[in-house]
Amino acid sequence: MSGGYYSKCSCSRPVEWVKGKTVGSGSFGSVHLAMNKATGGLFVVKSAESDSGLQFLESEAEILESLDSPHVVKCIGKEMCGGKKLNLFIEYMAGGSLADVTQQFGGKLDEMVIRLYTREILLGLKYLHENGIVHSDLKCRNVLLSSSGDVKLADFGCSKRVKKHPNPIPLAGVAGSPLWMAPETLRNQGGLDCASDIWSLGCTIIEMATGNLPWAGKISNPVSAVLRIACSEDRPNFPSHFSQEGLDFLEKCLERDPRKRWKAEELLHHPFVNPESEEFAASSPASVLDRSIFPETDYSDESDEEDETPLRSPVPKPTTNRFFPFSILCENKFGVSEQHPRFGEHWSTSEEWITVRTS
């Protein structure tokens, strides 16, 4: 790969720039705030030096340079340093991630705000899916906000091109964050599909509404998580305080059969994000006591003790290395330290959950 900048990037590329403080990190490397010395404008630079980090950052650059949407973060350019380090320049979103915003406003968001953010996320997903791209790692930490409330999808290191595209990215392997992954993705069944992003959207809504990770209270360790999500008929707990529209919207997103899961375009007409829609009227329950319309769902926060004992094994504590074979999870060789026996007590943030990226 030669140095230089992508010609299709939509923002003015920085000719001279200075790196500021670290604002984040990922499985690829580090993220820094940066300043264009010619204009004083701020942007973000993502850097990678390891072979695996370069691979995923280069993949993200390839995806971003082909996109042009107000619902996706914009690429400013890239540069290679000595052939061993890649810097990817991306627009700066001053509001931070949805995860940051949720923490800063009481630990969970009001449903009115969730409706607004969900609609913006859906517009981004609709654009990606129409262009044959699956995001593959949708969660609050990968959705960014501007100071004016614009919502944009970010972090495309796990993204894949699917189906009818002249330059498809190989679909082998599993990529994403396990607690947000669709069941069929964890089973690596039938290849990657846009429906997996819709499942992740449902998990992201739960994250916004509760301030907890999806599956909180149900799963106590990574092995249990993977097996339960992939192989059971269960779903994460729905927010008990949600409106009828909100619960129905989650039903459409968290349908375990991907063939029955609603598409982004269909969900944009749902009254949860489109109050003028009349499609919900025919199926809306007359009261909260009318439960027959909705499949039986456990909305409690109680953990399932049956999954903990047989799946817990004396395995090493996870390292900071975020790249590992998915087979390790399936073979029950990857777990957590016994110092973290309960999901809700110690695993309160996604930072303690690894991002799976294998090829």
| Residue among 270, 237, 294 nearest 118 (CA) | 270
**What are the DSSP calls for 210-265, one per residue?**
HSS-TTTTT--SHHHHHHHHHHSS--PPPPTT--HHHHHHHHHHT-SSTTTSPPHH
CA–CA distance from 195 to each of 142, 166, 201, 202, 321 (Å)?
Answer: 18, 21, 10, 11, 29
Kindly list the catalytic residues: 137
Which pLDDT score, from 0 to 100, does residue 315 have?
32
Which pLDDT score, from 0 to 100, does residue 162 have?
85
Look up the CATH superfamily of 17-91: Phosphorylase Kinase; domain 1 (3.30.200.20)
| Cβ neighbours of residue 286 closer than 8 Å, sequence gap 6 or more | none
| Residue among 87, 82, 122 nearest 9 (CA) | 87
- To 10 degrees, the CA torsion angle through 124, 125, 127, 132? 150
Q: Distance (Å, rounded) from C-alpha 357 to C-alpha 211?
A: 25
pLDDT tier, 218 (very low <50, low <70, confident <90, very high otherwise): confident
CA–CA distance from 80 to each of 4, 10, 64 (Å)?
Answer: 7, 19, 17
Residue 51 vs residue 293, higher pLDDT = 51
Burial of 81 (0-12, 13-18, 19+ CB in 10 A): exposed
For residues 356 and 179, the answer to whether their CB atoms sit within 8 Å is: no
End-to-end CA distance of the chain: 19
Q: Can you say whether the dihedral through the CA atoms of 231, 232, 233, 239 is positive or negative?
A: negative
Burial of 316 (0-12, 13-18, 19+ CB in 10 A): exposed
339 pLDDT more than 50: no
Q: Distance (Å, rounded) from C-alpha 60 to C-alpha 138?
A: 14
For residues 116 and 180, the answer to whether their CB atoms sit within 8 Å is: no
Range of lowest pLDDT (41-50, 160-169, 251-260, 276-285): 276-285
Tens of pLDDT, residue by residue over 48-106, are 888 888 888 998 999 999 999 999 999 999 998 877 889 999 999 999 999 999 999 99
Give the range with max mean pLDDT: 126-140, 280-294, 330-344: 126-140
In the numeric block, which tokens belong to residue 258?
């991907």
pTM of the model: 0.74
Which pLDDT score, from 0 to 100, does residue 235 have?
94
Range of lowest pLDDT (43-47, 108-112, 340-344): 340-344
Segment 319-347 mean pLDDT = 33
Residue 359 DSSP one-character state: -
Q: Distance (Å, rounded) from C-alpha 156 to C-alpha 135?
A: 6
Which pLDDT score, from 0 to 100, does residue 189 have?
65
Residue 153 vs residue 24, higher pLDDT = 153
Domain ranges of the chain: 17-91, 96-357
Residue 309 vs residue 274, higher pLDDT = 274
Look at domain 96-357 and name its CATH class.
Answer: mainly alpha
Burial of 88 (0-12, 13-18, 19+ CB in 10 A): buried
Residue 29 vs residue 201, higher pLDDT = 201
